[in-house]
Structure 1
Amino acid sequence: MEGQSTWPENTPLREAVRRMPLEAILLETDSPFQKPFGYCEKLNTSHSLVQIANEIAALKGIKIEEMLNTTYENSVRFFGLGKDK
């Protein structure tokens, strides 16, 4: 999920986030022009991940710690990190 999921008027994406299983969510900032709502920087950077994670946790009604732990595990699984090659 990226910055667009934090915009209040982006109802379809926000509803998709609410319905999406937490185990299917990754956080990213690959799109420099899709910054979070209210983000003052000119371009989206990794600094905005905190805001994105907080907003998604709020949308899903969970604590930020659960959001961060689960998305970390999702990233490890998705990218095959920690596996012996």
Structure 2
Amino acid sequence: MRGLLYKDFQLILNKLSLKSRLLIILVLLLVTIFGRESGTIFLSIMGPISLASMPTGLLIADQESGWNRFVGVFPIPKKNIVL
């Protein structure tokens, strides 16, 4: 399980360049500082939406990589792959 979480974390980092990450952080800080109440509302709405969309992107990346073709090679039952 630790390996799967590490893989997903690396996929997230690889999708965003350093410039993109810094830009996102800067925009969030500016919205929070200058928006006051509206910035907080914006973050409270957009935060969960963006976090909820991450698993979808990770599932798409798993499908594109074709890992399920090689899962039968492992010496463990298929139902225990993620467990």
TM-score computed with the length of structure 2 as normaliser: 0.30
- The structure with the larger Rg is 2
More helix by share: 2
TM-score w.r.t. structure 1 length?
Answer: 0.29
